[in-house]
Amino acid sequence: MAQQVNGARGRRERTARPLRGVVVAITGGSRGIGAATAHALATAGATVAVADLDLPTGQWLSQHPTVRGWQVDVTDGEAFTAFLDQVESTCGPLDVLINNAGIMPLGPLGEEPGSVTARQVELNLHAVIHGSQQAVRRMRPRGRGHIVNVASQAGKVGFAGAATYCATKHGVVGLSEALRAELRGTGVAVSCVMPTVVRTELATGLGGSPLVRPVTAQQVADAIVGAVRRPRFAVYVPRWLGAVNRLLELVPRALADVLMRISGADRVLAGADPAARAGYEARAVPERGHDALASPDALANQQAAGAQPS
């Protein structure tokens, strides 16, 4: 029996995808999960293209000769497309797209400004849809590729205090499930990453609970790299989160609500400290002054200048 297990493990190890030379584009790659993932992939030998609105925070990426950065607002569809065009012309055909960029402003839905609602939908969902469309159009004709969409546990469970965020992440999960079905048998893989609360700036001022224990950006990055090496659809971080979701889906709604209340999970986002989150939330919805930096013309200028390394 042990020999059979070891043999199966060996076969899985032999089928792990080598990452050297693989071309990966990551949105929101200058900090948090995106930066940790870019670092891990570059260390493994991948060629990594980072798109972010605020590249100055990602200066450390210049340490990797196989990492390049573009300053782009991925909610601008033309700019996102131009970014991917430039990645392919500069680095080679796109092998992996990681749709990671996202924001999480918190507060009761009835008190949420329209601009905050719109920005979340544009960045957390519309940009993921557009990026996935562009990736499919490039990858499917080649018969290979991998789309990795970073969602959240909030894409499986609704949390008070984050209604719009939950709506966008539920949308990403649904998009990923549908896209997986559409691409079955084409050679293009789809993964959906669903972490619990992650210790990044996005989680500033949050509490915790037995069911919502924060993980690090590095843990999520390791899970993403693992999924790129051996494609699978559902990527939970931590892994046991998948079992929790299945349990909550199986038990009656009233019992699931009781479990959420007893564990304190229902207050993790609703009970966030507004003062502690003020700085992050002010940056989460940028001024329109960034638009000139994110335009297709500006991207063309970046490429002419050598695709400004981050």
Q: CA torsion sign, 137 to 138 to 141 to 147? A: negative
Q: What is the pTM of this model?
A: 0.86
Side chain identity at 272, as an amino acid letter? A
Known catalytic residues?
165
* 96-99: strand order across its sheet: 67-71, 47-52, 23-27, 96-99, 145-150, 188-195, 234-237
Q: What percent of the chain has pLDDT over 70?
A: 84
- In 3D space, the residue among 290, 298, 310, 281 whose CA is nearest the CA of residue 113 turns out to be 281
Instruction: Look at residue 108 in the predicted model and tell me its pLDDT.
Output: 96
Instruction: Inform me whether the pLDDT recorded for 208 exceeds 50.
Output: yes
Worst-scoring range by mean pLDDT, 244-258, 266-280, 286-300?
286-300
pLDDT of residue 302: 54
User: Using one digit for the tens of pLDDT, what is the confidence trace for 65-96?
Assistant: 899 999 999 999 999 999 999 999 999 999 99
- Where residue 21 falls (left for φ over 0; alpha for ψ -120 to 50; beta otherwise) is left
Give residue 10's pLDDT.
43
Judged by average pLDDT, the poorest of 59-68, 124-133, 147-156 is: 59-68
Of the pLDDT bands very low, low, confident and very high (cuts 50, 70, 90), residue 299 is low
Whether the pLDDT of residue 30 is over 90: the answer is no
The pLDDT, as a whole number, for residue 9 is 47
Query: From the DSSP assignment, how many helices (H) and strands (E) are in the chain?
Result: 12, 7
Say whether pLDDT at 303 is over 90.
no
Reported as a pLDDT band with limits 50, 70 and 90, residue 5 is very low
Give residue-wise pLDDT tens across range 132-151: 999 999 999 999 999 999 99
For CA atoms 185, 191, 192, 194, the dihedral sign is positive
- pLDDT of res. 298: 55
Indicate the domain borders of the chain.
18-284
* CATH architecture for the domain at 18-284: 3-Layer(aba) Sandwich (3.40)
